[in-house]
Structure 1
């Protein structure tokens, strides 16, 4: 059967994609950020996941204010890089795993999660930047991807508890898929940042690292952090961290941390990264 072997959390700051695409990832500014991903890139070469379930949020590329799904799963065969106003990123197309995606969609809907099914869409930096951070600049991405888009842009957004529960349901779905697959689940977005208003540029190193500590914990207290705390402590865009809880919920009660990295600033954003594996 298929199995979830690891979870990865990572920021998906668009500037990191620019650094990769323009060959600046080793300069004085970006070097310390990318250094924290070196271990993970080597680890991914050894792990060779067949599929990554990649949890991200769309930035008005596939969806806009007319259609705002809370949870949407990509069930297509492939996805092109979106044009976010300055042309598509020069990265490979993303190859989907339609059979697994449809299986997960059916399982989640029968498990009482109201999923939006997407058969065709372009994917923006929320999805392609994490792939670049883990895999560099290959001619072809080394695994297939099941995109799972979460609304963290327009309120109401799903609670941390609901995201954690979705992760648990995804784990059940994957385990019931008959094909032998090495599956990873990635939660992306965050960490603390605010892009507008009087608090633009807000960063909170202490709270971000407390959140990472809670992800490593054997208890599930992190799932009950209220939205107002994310907003107060990490800025308006810090709410993206609820997507990491989908990843964490899929790993079971106990986890082992394999890698962890934190850096500020990148543009006006805090960079966080963690790799966990189930330890039950």
Structure 2
């Protein structure tokens, strides 16, 4: 790989959309890459060799014609590489369910707060994550480009942002999912069901029972929820998320 613009019949020139520049090494952040063609090279291979995972790529246009990633370049071509269109539908048109890798635990809790079906484990290695994503048709969210390059992964996406607020904003703008706040357990992803005060009396402190009227219990882990002292911050997260999705 080099940043040279000189035409060469053994190379193709990739011009990457601005939203894909973060995947390039600093010396190539202008978004123009010269890729050498090797035997059996496909256009998809060349794009990934530049550092861009294919799940982040939308259209590929070779000398003005839209072309699949399986195309085998002949050399001397100019390729425009576009980012995925936002909002992005999930294959099959289903409402998306998600699986997050071990580094995105805070994002997982916020997604569950919004009612998104979000699986998360803090002890799974890459092959196990891919297996679960495929078996349950979950969108695998990660910041590991190598994980997105696994050929047997049915569908995945790179999460942009360092802080959870930015990561959640990126996720919402990419998929514009339907939100159902306060309906899932932030601990285990189970569904929440309204519970009477009598039914939760043994599981909460007497002061909490006296101070609040509305409770819910997780159908899976039996954890009890109420709108407590952290409600203001959680309300802010929910309100911001609802506004974001409404604007997408």
Category of TM-score, reference length = shorter chain: under 0.3
Higher relative contact order (CA 8 A, sep 6+): 1
Rg larger for = 2
> So what's the TM-score if we normalise by structure 2?
0.25
> So what's the TM-score if we normalise by structure 1?
0.23
